[in-house]
Amino acid sequence: MSLARLEDTKKVSTFDLSGTENGFLTELYKEGNKTVAYLTSVKPGMFKGYHLHRVRAARYVILRGKMKIVLYKPGSGEKEEYVLDANTPQRLFIPKDIATGLLNIGTDEAWLINYPDPPYDPDLKDEQVEYALEELEQGIVK
């Protein structure tokens, strides 16, 4: 009998629109095929986004570094920015249907944990919607 169990996790490199690697995602905790928590890494000076979720809200907690979180409500012209810093722990709740971008404004790789609600379900198709900044600024709704 073993005292513990090793479980494989998925780690996926991420890329910006030009194809440059900007960080990675790692699954931290799963229930069945649904991801309850994952780690997002963003390299210094790099940006991830924009995208929104039609079903899921997000809860971000930064563990390392400093990130600017840029939010848009498509079609409304509303924009908000938040800075999350690992030295000042806070949790940011982002409702569904809000486009989100992550900019690493620190000098080191930044890490944040996302606790999506409900958990990420790979069987939901077309739930994540990608946006270009220009589309958000023009008020386009997808």
- Residue 1, pLDDT score: 85
Amino acid at 2: S
- Residue 99, pLDDT score: 98
- Residue 47, pLDDT score: 97
- Residue 35, pLDDT score: 95
- Residue 125, pLDDT score: 86
Q: How far is CA 9 from its chain centroid?
A: 18
Please check the confidence at residue 17 and state whether its pLDDT lies above 90: no
H helices of the chain, where? Answer: 133-137
Distance CA 109, CA 80 (A): 23
CB atoms within 10 A of CB 82: 13
- pTM of the model as a whole: 0.92
pLDDT single digits (tens) 55-104: 999 999 999 999 999 999 999 989 999 999 999 999 999 999 999 999 99
Please check the confidence at residue 126 and state whether its pLDDT lies above 90: no
- Please state which architecture CATH assigns to domain 21-137: Sandwich (2.60)
- Residue 87, pLDDT score: 97
- Does residue 131 have a cis bond before it (omega within 30 degrees)? no
- Where along the chain do its domains lie? 21-137
- Residue 69, pLDDT score: 98
pLDDT single digits (tens) 26-55: 999 999 999 999 999 999 999 999 999 999
